[in-house]
Amino acid sequence: MKNEIHQILKKENTMLVIVDMINGFLTQGALASPRCADILPAVEELLHSAKENQIPCIAFADSHRPDSLEFQSFPVHCLKNTLESELAPSLQEIGGFQRIEKNSTNGFFAPDFQKYLWIHPELQNVIVCGVCTDICVMQFALTLKAWANQNQKNLNLFIPVNAVATYDAPGHDAESLQKTALEIMAQAGIHLI
C-alpha cells in the first residue's frame, strides 16, 4: 500500500484531506478512542509524503460552539478554542496543512472548504484519511464524490484503509461499522487502497 500512496502523491492535481485527527477523538474528551489514535502513524506518513511532494493538504478539525446542534446526537466534544479541537501534536509538528474548522460531521459544508474547492478546479485526485470512518470520513467522501458527479468532474477519491478508523462503544461496533462504511464508499466509486 505504501507504494500505491506514494505513486498517487507524486501525480499532479492531488490533495490530501485529513479528517478530525484531533485530540478530542484521539486522546481526551467524551469521544476519544484508542482505536482512532492507533492510525496516527499512518496519517503522519501520509502528511510527510504530501509535504515532501508539495501536495496541498487540508486538515479538518471539529470546532463546536457550546450550543452546537450536533450535541443533540453526540456528547459535548471538541469545543472551539480548546485542546480537544487541536490537531494531534505530531501532525502540528510536521505542518504543511491548512486547518479548516467544521461545526458538523461533514467537512464538505465547511465554508473554507467550499472556497478551496471552487478556487482549485484543477483538482483530480483526493486522498482522504482520519476518523471516524463511518461518520465524518464517509459523509465527506460520499458528498465530495456526489458533488463531482453532479458537476461532471472526473474526481478520483482514495481511502487508505490503514489510515481510517472508528470507535467502539455500546451500540457502535467498530469492526462491523468500519467494514460497512468502506463497502459503501467502494460501491460509490471511491477507491480503497
Pairing of strands 164-165, 14-19: unpaired
Measured CA to CA, the distance from residue 132 to residue 141 in angstroms comes to: 12
Measured CA to CA, the distance from residue 174 to residue 153 in angstroms comes to: 33
Q: What is the pLDDT of residue 1?
A: 47
pTM over cut 0.85: yes
User: Considering just the CA atoms, what is the radius of gyration of the chain in Å?
Assistant: 15
**pLDDT reading at 69 higher than 60:** yes
Nearest to 47 by CA among 91, 11, 88: 91
Instruction: Say which CATH number the domain at 16 has.
Output: 3.40.50.850
Q: Give per-residue pLDDT as tens, 89-100.
A: 999 999 999 999
The H helix count followed by the E strand count for the chain is 8, 7
Residue with cell string 467537512: 107
**Grid cell for residue 7:** 505513486
Q: Give per-residue pLDDT as tens, 5-47.
A: 566 655 678 999 999 999 999 999 888 899 999 999 999 999 9
Q: What is the pLDDT of residue 11?
A: 62
Total domain count, the chain: 1
Q: What is the residue range of 162's domain? A: 2-192
